[in-house]
Amino acid sequence: MVLVHSHLAQDKFVLKWYDKSYNSGEMAKKALKKYSKFLESINETDESIFEKLREIKGSEDFYLFLNRITEFFGESLHPNSTKAYFSFVKDYYRRNGFRIYNEDIKQFVKIQKSPKEKKVPLEREQIAVLAKGAEKYLKGVIYCLVSSGMRASEFLQLDKSDIKWDLDPVEVHLRAEITKTKVDRITYLSPQAVENFPKLKPYDEKSSLVNLEHSFSNLREKCGLDQKYRNTNVHHITLHRFRAFFKTEASNMHGKDYAEDVIGHEGYLNTYYSLNDEERRIKYKELIPKVTI
């Protein structure tokens, strides 16, 4: 029997998630910290609990034990956080030799569902207030996100060579390695975004997105636009909502397929939808007034 030393095994596990992305590493670290508190509450360690679970792995009792973990998480976490943390715990167990089947998880592990509130649409007037109140760099970022449908993390990883300034409209090549879906795609910038384009800074995943979100949080509070949803404590307006604004405007003008294709939405399969470069530019030019603030 191979015994696992808790801190060493957990640190190794977290580092693998940091290799994927800084945010994933941070989430994995928080999840295992919470899991360790659960083990403390039942006077167990990785070594002791793994030894006991190996005797019942795959059985109903094994899955009922996993359910105890989600119950512990649920005492202090929102259901969405419980679900996210538990996904890391499942992966941690799998990496330590435990097979976990989703059908059994569905049967024996229960996570309370959170009430879903209707998303509050981001209004053009709100974006205008934010842009007016923002310092130069953040103002430029806002215009870029609104007019392109890029994720903030994608914008932060752009290189000068990714932007084709000589094309009309200005074209942005999002390389597969910087997109969430790991698929190349093309988007564009409005003349307003080009005019206010912020200086590209060296990308540091550990700080850049955190710094941008911190600056945006201060701006949102200054503008009196820091309302939150009741059940999730998430703000109505986030950096990601600029992407949603673009998608809405693009869908209204050219249809959902066009919008999903441009923003590179995860899960969207564009096998049957394709435009040549000229058609893409024409459609985007028609969209410009809708994504100009």
Mark whether 185 and 234 lie in a shared domain.
yes
1 located within any domain: no
Q: Do 287 and 253 touch, CB atoms closer than 8 A?
A: yes
Mark whether 254 and 155 lie in a shared domain.
yes
Report CA-CA distances (Å) from 209 to 23, 64, 83, 200.
Answer: 10, 39, 24, 13
Q: What is the pLDDT of residue 248?
A: 96
pLDDT-derived band at 17 (thresholds 50, 70, 90) equals very high
pLDDT digits (tens, 9 = 90+) for 159-210: 999 999 999 999 999 999 999 888 899 999 999 999 999 999 888 877 899 8
Mark whether 253 and 136 lie in a shared domain.
yes
- Tell me the residue range of the domain where 265 lies: 124-291
Q: Which of 82, 43, 89, 36 is nearest to 66 (CA)?
A: 89
CA atoms within 13 A on the CB side of 1: 11
115 located within any domain: no
100 located within any domain: yes
pLDDT-derived band at 1 (thresholds 50, 70, 90) equals very low
Q: Do 129 and 225 touch, CB atoms closer than 8 A?
A: yes
For the record, the structure tokens of 216 come out as: 């945006």
d(CA 235, CA 227): 6
Given a cut of 50, is residue 6 above it in pLDDT?
yes
Q: What is the pLDDT of residue 261?
A: 87
114 located within any domain: no
Mark whether 98 and 175 lie in a shared domain.
no
Mark whether 54 and 18 lie in a shared domain.
yes
For the record, the structure tokens of 138 come out as: 């953040």
pLDDT digits (tens, 9 = 90+) for 101-145: 999 999 999 998 877 788 899 999 999 999 999 999 999 999 999
Mark residue 29 as left, alpha or beta (left: phi above 0; alpha: psi -120 to 50; beta: remaining).
Answer: alpha
Mark whether 248 and 205 lie in a shared domain.
yes
Phi first, then psi: give them for residue 248, nearest 5 degrees: -60, -50
Mark whether 26 and 160 lie in a shared domain.
no
For the record, the structure tokens of 175 come out as: 């390389």
Single pTM value for the model: 0.79
d(CA 189, CA 141): 11
Mark whether 170 and 194 lie in a shared domain.
yes
Given a cut of 70, is residue 267 above it in pLDDT?
no
Mark whether 67 and 144 lie in a shared domain.
no
| Total domains in the fold of the chain | 2
